[in-house]
Structures are given as C-alpha cells and as structure tokens.
Chains A and B, each alone.
Chain A
C-alpha cells in the first residue's frame, strides 16, 4: 500500500511524538514531587496545613544567642523579626553561619514552630548572599 520510505518516516514521527509526550509527562511529574518552596517564618505561621512529606526552605536571620550545640546536633532559631522558627540540624554548616547573619535552612517541618533541617545555606562572602537570604532580609 504505502512505500517503505513512507512507513519508515511515519514510524519515525510516531516515535518522536511518543518520546516527547513521555518526556513531558515524566518531567512534570518529577517537578511536582521535587520542587522545594521558599518560605519565611511568617509564611509558615500562616499556613493552613503542614505537609510533612514536602521539603521546604526557610529563610531569615539566625536569632542572637539562639545557637545551641551538642555532640550531634545544632539548634538555632530563624527569625524574620515577626515570627520565629526553631531549627535542628545535623550536618556540616557553611563558613559564614553566625548569629545575627542571614541563613536558609532546608528540611521538613515537624509542626509550625519546628523544622528538621538537612541542609543549611548561608552567606558566601562579605558581599554576596543567596538571593533567598537577601529577599528574606529585605522584607523586614
């Protein structure tokens, strides 16, 4: 009926379409699962429900005199000067993690006042800070 060439081409186009649809589907699905939202302590206070399985980032300042250290963990309080959030963290801290400086903690919320962090980002040098930190500081 159709020539070999036409069949070949049809198969080719079909394969491209299939792989395109498959790619879009997988990418969108994976994005939904793995996107990390950025919130301030006040945003968290205003949340209606807490999704324990959803990773988030919280940005603000490390509250003065709030860092507590033991053998395993570090506890500190992130504040945006309106609301506060207690964070516990077991991992390596960045070089400029200090009280009174900007910080972003990434992890899972236990409840509205407690974050179990597995990653901490802080200012990289004197002039530079992660955009999220500067955003959080600007809002204050």
Chain B
C-alpha cells in the first residue's frame, strides 16, 4: 500500500515540476507584474506529495514492510524503533528522497519569505530550483527508486549496518542535507538575480539569511559526523581526512567565504561577481559531494552505493548545471552595474578579501587531496591514497598568517581605517598569551618548530575574541562565532600536541605501564543482548593518586554478521581517556588501544559556539544594523 502511495506521489511531484518549469519560464519572459497564485498552489502540492512519499517510506520502515526492497535491504524487525526510523535515510534511496524533500520544502519557504522581491527574480528562482528538483526526481525514479516491490515477500530483512546505529549518525544526514540543499536556493537565487539584474545590497540582505541557515546546518552536520567517527569508529580521532569527510568540508570553506562576502555586498554594494561565483561554486561542491559519496568512486572507509549508472547520472546532471550557470554568468555579466567604490588597503573589505583568499587556499588543498587519486587512477591506473601529512603540511603553516589576520581584521572599519597609535591593550594581551604558551609548552617535549608560534597566536586570538565581547562594536553573533572558532583552533592544536596513546596485545590479568599510568585488563564478560552478543571488558587505569574503570565493548551482530568495537571514554573538562579493544585470534589476546586526548570536549563545544553565532544572526531582527 505505502509503496504505491509513495511511488505515485513522486510521479505527481514530477508532473508539477515540469509544469512549473514551463510556466515560470514563460511568465519570466512576459512582463507580468505579479506572481501567479498558481505558483504557490502547485509548489505546495508538490511539497505535500514529496512529503507524503517520504513518510510512506518512513511508515514502511516502521511497520517493517518487507515487500519494499529498500526496507528489506536495510531493516530488521528486531531493530529498535529509533533506528528503524533513521534507517529511512541510512541508505542510498532513502537519503536521496530526503534530499528531494528538503529541496522542495526550501523552495516553498523561499516563496513565502520573498514576497517583497521582484517578480521576475522570483520566477527565475522557481525555474532553477525546479530544474534541480526535476533532475533529482528523474534520478530517483530511474535509478534509485525507494519503492521497488519484492515478491514473494520476505519474512525478515537484512538489517542496518550496526556501525550506523548511533544517535549522532541517525541525525547527521538530515542536518548535513539541510546545509547542502540550502546552497541550492543560494545557487538558484544568484542565477536568477544575475539575469534579472537585481544584485545589490537589497538582494544581499535577502539572501544572507539563506547563506546563514545553510552554513549553520552544514557546521552542525559536520560536527555530528565527526562525533560519530570519534565515538563509534574507535580510531580515537575526530578528523581523518577521509574523502567522505573532505567533501563535506569543501562546501563549508566556500560557504564561509560567501558568508563574509555577502556582508560586503550588503554594506558596500561591491564584490558582486565574486558573490555569484562563490554561490555557484558552493552548490557545485555540495552536488559533487553527493556524487562522489554516492557513486562509490571515492576510496573511503565509509563507501555507500556502488552503482556506475547512478554516478554517471549525477555526473552528467552536475555537468549540465555547471555549464548552464557558467553560460548564464558570461551572458549576463554586463547587467551587473559597476558600483564599486574606491577601496583602501586598510579596510574591512580588504580583511574579508584576505579571509576569502585563505578559504580558497584551504579549499584547493582539500580538493586536490581528495580528487587527485581519482585522476591518477583514470590516467595511468596506479592506485594511490593521500594521507593526513599532505593536509597537515599544507594547512598548518598557513594558519599562522590566518590567525594574525583574524585577530585584527574584524575590528577594522569599512572603507578606510588608520593605523592606530600604539595600543597597550593589544600588547598586554600578546604578552599574556606568550606567558600562557610558555607555561603550556614547557610541559611537553613533543614540540615541533611551528607549534610555538601557533600556540602563541591561537591563545592570542582567543584572548582578543574574548576582549571583543566587551569593547568591539560588531554584532554579538559574529563575536560568538569568532570566539568559537578561536577556541576550536586552540583546542585542536593543544589536543594534537598533547595527545598520546599506546597499543598493546593483552590477556586477562595483564598490566601495562604507560607514562604515569598503569592500565590493567581485569576481566571480559560475555552476554547476549537484544540483537547482538556483547563482550564487555573491564579495565582499571591507575594514576599516582587516583584510579578509574573503563568498560569498552565488542559487539557481534548477527543481522548482518558484523563486529563492532564500542570505545569507552571517560570525559572530563580537561581531557578524554579513550579505551577500545578488539578480539584477535582465539588464543586469549585482546588488541588494546589506550589514548589520552586533552581538551577533546572543547572541540565539540567550540563548534557548537560557531554554529550558535550563526543561528543567533538568523533569528535576531536587529542584526541588520551591523
């Protein structure tokens, strides 16, 4: 039942999409003053149809309707309800349906929110957004229909990969998609404003909300993925420069650049072309992210589907969209009125330009590292991978100038600023950060040359952003986000510098001495839980004057047969103690990894600060003043 309902509502949505494409194209060429009421009506019908389709898939998952192939492949009656629901988007077909749902809901919200905008601009935005929607609809219906029927109906499903059964990962895809898909509105709107020639401060004010919303969701989405990797994968890190992680980071760099540029457009009415280029690039990166992840081209720890026809479709669709936007850009470039006013080197505009340069550099590094292996394999068939040192060597040295610019850039004035007279506050803050860094750095022998300036500068930036809360005139949301960012950089650096670990093979009763701690494996208990068998180890970590217990676990799932390690982590405000173990052969040895990770929790907290700043900017009305 739900299969038919879900399937046919997608066809109705496709018909609506085709109608809207033609109608908006025709109306955009006529000189209509008002937006036809049908647009809102048809768009809402389309949104409702896609919502119905999505929820019939959710329903099929909840009631374990195994006549549906997607449900059969990815669910199981024994699975907890929460993971049945999240299983809807834990697979290729369902996640695309979610993409589509967000696409149409965002267009609907856009229409409700842009009443005061020019009619032609709105029509063109509908046109471009519907082209994207119809592309995804056809893609889903042709290559990845989530409502394929199975006959005879199997009595039990194949189950969801247990490694994906995690609360952070359950909500990670929807949040990330909200960010990705939000960029589609920015893309459509910037192409539309290009053609209708209304790029300017008014448009910037209107599109800024969308940029902020996408950026907040993308930030939180990346955070959730990172939290999942830390807690569930058991590798004891939060970022591995895995291609699948990289493709979510690339649009983030681009969107961060756009976020700053749009403010220049709003205040100073310049950087018009650059704003459009960034909008197009951001969306292309989001789309290619989906393509790379979904096509199985990427050599990743978490590869999803592996179906060439899917990859080819998204690739051609992406190619058409990019070609279309480049053509539109070149043929409408003359419509951009050149209102650029005189710029001075020392001004906020320049500071934001510098920010953009850094973002583009970071983006290029990650882009090259991610796609170079694919190119090389196509060119001469050799298989390579690009490891973390590549990224570290290129990104870390550039953090030094980046941190310097970030410490004074935001406090510069628009248009023209003067080199102020010697500022004692800044000097005091710098000396304080030197002192703090000295205290910190004497505690480690594990330092490399760059760590000294990096630690000094990150602490300096942290203190400056705290100082800004009291003296700077900029908006509170910007202060929170910048503070969050400097806290993030500081935590990451200190975490990297002070983390240490040991690996060992231990039998029950064994002890290992590690730095000033003694780690003892006391026992391993085997029990049967719900849908898996659990081996729970009990470790005791003894310090000079304290001791605590850690209980990591190995789970053996039957449906499908999978073994996962659940790390046990003792988190305090200062550090995480991370312990994970794994079974080797049946000769009594367990493979144990113990890690000491300082300030781990601050990496999560600071990212929440970054996102919260953006959120505040969206909801605060008087934010427009700044």
- Give A residues with C-beta under 8 Å from B: 4-5, 8, 19, 23, 26-27, 30-31, 33-38, 55, 57, 67, 69-74, 90-97, 99, 121, 124-128, 130-132, 135
Residues on B with C-beta less than 8 A from A71 are 504-506, 510
Q: Is the CB of A91 within 8 A of B503?
A: yes
Among B161, B357, B394, B591, point to the contact of A93 (Cβ < 8 A): B591
Q: Is the CB of A93 within 8 A of B582?
A: yes
In the docked arrangement, what's the CA distance between A28 and B471, Å? 44
Contact among B384, B387, B393, B564 for A95, CB-based, below 8 A: B564
Most A CB within 10 A of own CB, among B387, B554, B580: B387
Q: How many residues of B contact A (CB 8 A)?
A: 50
- Among residues of B, the one whose C-beta sits closest to the C-beta of A72 is B504
Residue of A nearest to B368 (CB): A27
Given contacts A69-B585, A125-B562, contact A26 B503 (CB under 8 A): no
Pick the contact of A128: B234, B303, B383, B390 (CB < 8 A): B303
A35 to B589, CA, bound (A): 34
Residue of B161, B343, B364 near A125 (CB, 8 A) is B161
B584 and A74 contacting across the interface, CB-CB below 8 Å: yes
Is A38 a contact partner of B503 (Cβ separation < 8 A)? no
**Is B4 located at the chain interface by the 8 A CB criterion?**
no
Given A4-B342, A31-B386, 7 more pairs with CB closer than 8 A: A8-B345, A55-B387, A74-B505, A92-B234, A96-B563, A124-B302, A128-B303
Residue B496 lies at the interface, judged by CB distance under 8 Å to chain A: no
Q: Mark B383-417, 1 if CB is under 8 A from A, else 0.
A: 11111011001100000000000000000000000
B504 touches A34 (CB 8 A): no
Are A126 and B561 in contact, CB atoms less than 8 angstroms apart? yes
20 CB contacts below 8 A, A to B, read A33-B390, A33-B393, A34-B389, A35-B372, A35-B390, A37-B384, A55-B387, A69-B587, A70-B505, A71-B505, A93-B584, A95-B562, A95-B565, A97-B584, A124-B163, A124-B302, A125-B161, A127-B560, A131-B303, A135-B383
Residue interface bits B357-395, CB-to-A below 8 A is 1, else 0: 100010011001100100000000011111101100110
A55 to B384, CA, bound (A): 11
Q: Which of B301, B368, B383, B506 contacts A124 (CB 8 A)?
A: B301
Among A8, A74, A131, which residue has its beta carbon within 8 angstroms of that of B299? A131
Decide: B301 and A130 in contact? CB cutoff 8 A.
yes
Nearest chain A CB to B394 CB, angstrom units: 5
Q: How far is the CA of A90 from the CA of B235 in the complex (A)?
A: 14
Contact (Cβ within 8 A) A92 B372: no
Residue in B357, B364, B384, B592 whose CB lies within 8 Å of A27: B364
Q: Does B593 have its Cβ within 8 Å of any Cβ on chain A? A: yes
- A10 to chain B minimum Cβ distance, whole angstroms, is 13
Which residues of chain B come closer than 8 Å to A4, judged between CB atoms?
A: 342
Smallest CB-CB separation from A8: which chain B residue? Answer: B343
Q: How far is the CA of A97 from the CA of B234 in the complex (A)?
A: 15
Distance A100 CA – B306 CA, assembled complex (angstroms): 24
Closest residue to B235 on the A side, CB-wise? A92
Q: A8-B343, A55-B387 are in contact. Are A37 and B563 (CB under 8 A)?
A: no
Give the Cβ gap from B18 to chain A, nearest Cβ, in Å: 37
The answer on a CB contact under 8 Å between A30 and B393 is yes
Give the residue of B382, B506, B593 whose beta carbon is less than 8 angstroms from that of A92: B593
- List of A residues within 8 angstroms of B563 by Cβ: 95-96
Contact A67 B584 (CB under 8 A): yes
A26/B163 contact (C-beta < 8 A), A74-B584, A93-B582 known: no
Q: Do A121 and B301 touch (CB < 8 A)?
A: yes
Using A27-B365, A72-B504 as known contacts, say yes or no to A19 and B385 having CB atoms under 8 A apart: no
When distances are taken between beta carbons in the complex, the residues of chain A under 8 Å from B393 are 30, 33-34
B564 with A36: CB separation less than 8 A: no
Complex alpha-carbon distance, A93 and B563, angstroms: 12
Contact with A along B568-593 (1 / 0, CB 8 A): 00000000000010101101010111
**Distance, CA A16 to CA B592, complexed state (A):** 50
CA gap between A67 and B584 in the complex, in Å: 9
With both beta carbons as reference points, the residue of chain A lying nearest to B583 in the complex is identified as A95
Q: Which residues of A contact B384 (CB under 8 A)?
A: 35-38
Contacting residue for B387 out of A36, A94, A125, CB 8 A: A36
* B163 and A125 within 8 A (CB): yes
Residues of B within 8 A of A121 (CB): 301
A31-B372, A69-B587 as given contacts; A126 in contact with B365, CB under 8 Å: no
Task: Determine the residue in chain A with the shortest Cβ distance to B563.
Answer: A95
Q: Contacts A92-B591, A124-B301; is A38 near B364 (CB within 8 Å)?
A: no
Q: Which residues of A contact B394 (CB under 8 A)?
A: 26-27, 30
Residues of B within 8 A of A124 (CB): 163, 301-302
Residues of chain A with a CB closer than 8 A to B592's CB: 92
Closest to A98 in B: B585
How long is the Cα–Cα vector from A35 to B554 in the complex, in angstroms? 33
Q: Is the CB of A19 within 8 A of B504?
A: no
CA distance A110 to B372 in the complex (A): 28
Contact of A5 among B342, B372, B503, B580 (CB under 8 A): B342
| Cβ–Cβ contact A35 & B386, under 8 A | yes
Smallest CB–CB gap between B395 and chain A, Å? 10
Binary interface encoding of chain B residues 288-314 relative to chain A, with 1 for a CB under 8 A from any of its CBs, else 0: 000000001001011100000000000
Which 10 A-B pairs give the minimum distances between C-beta atoms?
A38-B383, A92-B593, A34-B390, A95-B563, A126-B560, A69-B589, A34-B389, A91-B503, A125-B562, A30-B393
